């Protein structure tokens, strides 16, 4: 009888870990910026990105996100940090099924990847942004450096307060997440 109890306990412990695991859903972003995978409750969802001409600096000229009736236009001080040169360099994930009472509201994550890895060091770079799915406001923004050879990833908070005025940051950040910009 004790063996049965141990087997049952082991099954419960293994099963509960799987239930607690959280994984973002991959969101398809069309060439026109439509994100049909976002549930209707938060949509329609669209990301409009204006890219510079080949070789132009900065690579991105403007970014506008629409989630349902909400719209966020990223200011030039943030857009200038984005390394992507075409929609194919962007990827998105989202979560709308985790416990919002935790640390994060339902969110949309967008990665703006640099077009090429550093050829010598094979370093991959992207700017990662999290947006609140309910408000389209920015939750956080980070620069991420990935070294696949070393199996390492380093994330650093961008010092936006040195690039953007407090009024500009207040206009795009979720009020509950505003401290992430400081």
Q: Are 92 and 108 in contact (CB under 8 A)?
A: yes
- Facing residues of 140 across strands? 130
Q: Are 38 and 108 in contact (CB under 8 A)?
A: yes
User: Does some domain include residue 34?
Assistant: yes
* pLDDT value at residue 106: 92
User: Does some domain include residue 17?
Assistant: no
* pLDDT value at residue 5: 40
* pLDDT value at residue 181: 47
pLDDT tens digits, 11-34: 444 444 444 456 789 999 999 999
For residue 115, give every residue at least 6 positions away whose Cβ sits within 8 Å of its Cβ, in sequence order, or none: 59, 83, 84, 85, 86, 89
* pLDDT value at residue 17: 41
User: Does some domain include residue 18?
Assistant: no
Residue 70 class from Cβ within 10 Å (0-12 exposed, 13-18 middle, 19+ buried)?
middle
Look at residue 3 and tell me whether its pLDDT is greater than 70.
Answer: no
Residue given tokens 């419960």 in the structure block: 12
Look at residue 35 and tell me whether its pLDDT is greater than 90.
Answer: yes
Mean pLDDT of 45-74: 93
Mean pLDDT of 149-159: 71
User: Does some domain include residue 4?
Assistant: no
User: Does some domain include residue 123?
Assistant: yes
pLDDT tens digits, 64-108: 999 999 999 999 999 999 999 999 999 999 999 877 777 789 999
Q: Look at the chain and report how many structural domains it folds into.
A: 1
User: Does some domain include residue 16?
Assistant: no
Range of the domain at 101: 23-181
For residue 56, give every residue at least 6 positions away whose Cβ sits within 8 Å of its Cβ, in sequence order, or none: none
Sheet of 45-51: strands edge to edge? 45-51, 60-67, 70-73
Look at residue 175 and tell me whether its pLDDT is greater than 90.
Answer: no
User: Does some domain include residue 167?
Assistant: yes
- The pair of structure tokens assigned to 149 is 């050879």
Distances (CA, A) of 182 to 65, 122, 140, 141, 167: 23, 30, 10, 11, 13
Reported confidence tier of residue 159, pLDDT bands at 50, 70, 90: confident
- The pair of structure tokens assigned to 173 is 């950040």
Q: Are 90 and 29 in contact (CB under 8 A)?
A: yes
User: Does some domain include residue 144?
Assistant: yes
- The pair of structure tokens assigned to 61 is 């000229």
**Which range (72-76, 99-103, 129-133, 173-177) has the least confidence?**
99-103
DSSP of 106-165:
SEEEEEEE-SS-BTTTTBEEEEEEEEETTT--EEEEEEEEEETTTTEEEEEE--GGGTS-
């Amino acid at each position: 009888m004790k063996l049965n109890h141990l087997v049952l306990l082991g099954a419960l412990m293994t099963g509960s870990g799987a239930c607690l695991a959280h994984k973002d859903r991959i969101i398809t972003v069309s060439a026109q910026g439509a994100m049909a995978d976002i549930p209707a409750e938060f949509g329609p969802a669209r990301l409009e990105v204006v890219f510079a001409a080949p070789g132009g600096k900065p690579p991105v000229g403007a970014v506008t996100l629409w989630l349902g009736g909400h719209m966020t236009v990223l200011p030039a001080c943030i857009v200038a940090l984005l390394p992507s040169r075409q929609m194919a360099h962007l990827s998105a994930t989202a979560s709308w099924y985790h416990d919002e009472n935790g640390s994060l509201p339902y969110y949309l994550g967008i990665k703006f990847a640099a077009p090429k890895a550093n050829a010598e060091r094979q370093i991959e770079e992207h700017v990662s942004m999290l947006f609140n799915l309910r408000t389209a406001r920015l939750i956080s923004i980070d620069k991420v450096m990935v070294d696949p050879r070393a199996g390492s990833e380093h994330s650093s908070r961008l010092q936006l307060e040195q690039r953007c005025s407090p009024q500009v940051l207040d206009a795009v950040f979720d009020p509950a997440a505003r401290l992430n910009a400081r």
